[in-house]
Amino acid sequence: MTKEANMKIIPNTAKVWLIADTHFGDESIIRFCSRPFETVAEMDRAMTDNWNKRVGAEDLVFHLGDFGRGDPGQLGETLRGLAGRKRLVMGNHDREMGDAGFFRALGFEEVYDLPVLFGYCIFSHEPVDIINSKSCFGNVYGHVHDDERYIARTEHTLCVSVEHQGYAPVCWEG
């Protein structure tokens, strides 16, 4: 099989979306980050609805870590209920759940244990410290949740933790 046969092409009409730190199924994150939900079911439903209102079936979504916790069957059901083609850049809580094979079995089309270079941008779970105003690379990341220091988007960085993005994916415009 040729290398090209293994490549998955993004259709011309597809969009690329970014999101991090959903923590589906994790009730403790509601209190930890003061999320505006009473129950984990309400949180999961709101994030699923927000996701599916934006993302199309052929769109590509990079989840930048900490997808969810709990029962693998429920996590797989949640993932299958989310629109688009989904790729995971593993976060610290994902590594506690399993390895790349575990998340592929849930339904992610690709799973990365390290940051991903997408064009001239690094998609990572945690902020990358090498980014600065003289760098030709940018960094899109999660991990920081509701930390106020990461609210502002700079020329080279963007935090896509759900707390910063209205509990919804953000469209990547390169």
Residue 7 located in a structural domain: no
154: three-class secondary structure by DSSP: coil
Residue 19 located in a structural domain: yes
* 5-9, 118-122, 130-134 — most confident range: 118-122
Phi, psi of 155 (to 5 degrees): -60, -25
For 160, residues 6+ apart whose C-beta sits below 8 A from its C-beta are 18, 19, 20, 64, 140, 141, 142, 169, 170
Residue 3 located in a structural domain: no
Residue 4 located in a structural domain: no
Residue 117 located in a structural domain: yes
Residue 122 located in a structural domain: yes
Residue 71 located in a structural domain: yes
CA distance 91 to 125: 5
Residue 59 located in a structural domain: yes
CA distance 152 to 7: 35
The answer to whether the pTM exceeds 0.85 is yes
Expressed as residue numbers, the domain containing 154 is 13-172
Q: What is the CATH number of the domain that holds 57?
A: 3.60.21.10
Number of domains the chain is built from: 1
| CA-based end-to-end distance of the chain | 31
| Structure confidence by residue, pLDDT tens digits, 2-36 | 444 445 555 556 899 999 999 999 999 999 999 99
| Structure confidence by residue, pLDDT tens digits, 60-111 | 999 999 999 999 999 999 999 999 999 999 999 999 999 999 999 999 999 9
Q: Which residue has the higher pLDDT, 59 or 159?
A: 59
